[in-house]
Amino acid sequence: MCARYTLTAEEKEILKSNPLRIVGEFTPDPNIAVTEQGLVITSDEPDIIQIMNFGIIPQDNETPALIYDTWNVRSEEVMDKPTYRPLMEKRQTCLILMDSFYEPEHVSDTDNRPWLFLTERKVFCVAGLWDEWTDPVTSEKHRRFAMMTCEANKTVAEVHDTNRMVVILPKAWENLWLDKKSSIESLLALCVPYPDSKMNRYRVSKKLNAVSTKKRPNKDMSLINPVEDEPRQQSFFSEQDVPPKPAERKFKTKTQKNKPTRKGPPAPDLFS
């Protein structure tokens, strides 16, 4: 699932859609990966934008190392997981600010092609959970976040074979996700696929696949530039069909009024 995303907007663009105060020094980043820093707004402190690290540290961890996937949370299973259930019960929800995210297309074992996904808004928010872990040795506190996921829409599913995507919230739903008085059922009813008509995607360079480190950072803004997709040739040694080239997507000007549906509790009237 989503382990890379971007926030390349300048601070003035971020504050235009989220007129709050950013606590800490923000630097635009075209390649935010697990363990790295991102901007979030929490339900406990909804009047500020905080800097936190990507990937929740379970409370029973003895070290800050992430030993399994704690950066994506399946919304359908969140109440079954001991790491995440207490966060939902305490309404430790957050908004994760971004302007696009990446997903790989696995064409073959040696051919992973990254795609960039964006919405009709320059800066948008993904539903998340956050927690604070205290290092038992140093007593240092670590605030971390994870992204909620749901079934993928067509725009993402055509490329990403896990059929999952992050929960992108319409602007009118953002405050609902942060409302500590909301029931768990009403919060989970917000975890639905974002409308295809409001999303787009394009191929980016395989340079994105390189892991970014302090000694060899992979943070060049050219990572978000579109590139031509490579040819897709069928193997001479296999009869299995090669994945077809995903169709190009363009934004539709017509507004879609129908809300997406999901199994489980009915969604509240979110546009009244």
Distances (CA, A) of 21 to 32, 64, 131, 251: 21, 28, 21, 32
Taking the domain 4-210, which CATH number applies?
Answer: 3.90.1680.10
Q: Measured on CA atoms in the order 167, 168, 173, 174, is the torsion positive or negative?
A: positive
Q: What is the pLDDT of residues 214-243, one digit of tens each?
A: 899 999 999 999 999 988 765 444 445 555
Q: What is the pLDDT of residue 162?
A: 86
Q: Global pTM? A: 0.85
Higher per-residue pLDDT: 268 or 227? 227
Q: What is the pLDDT of residues 159-184, one digit of tens each?
A: 988 899 999 999 999 999 999 999 99
CA angle 176/40/67 to nearest 5° reads 110
Q: Can you tell me the mean pLDDT for 14-36? A: 95
Q: Is 17 helix (H, G, I), strand (E, B) or coil?
A: helix
The domain segmentation of the chain, as residue ranges, is 4-210
The tokens describing 59, both together, are 């409370």
CA angle 73/75/77 to nearest 5° reads 85
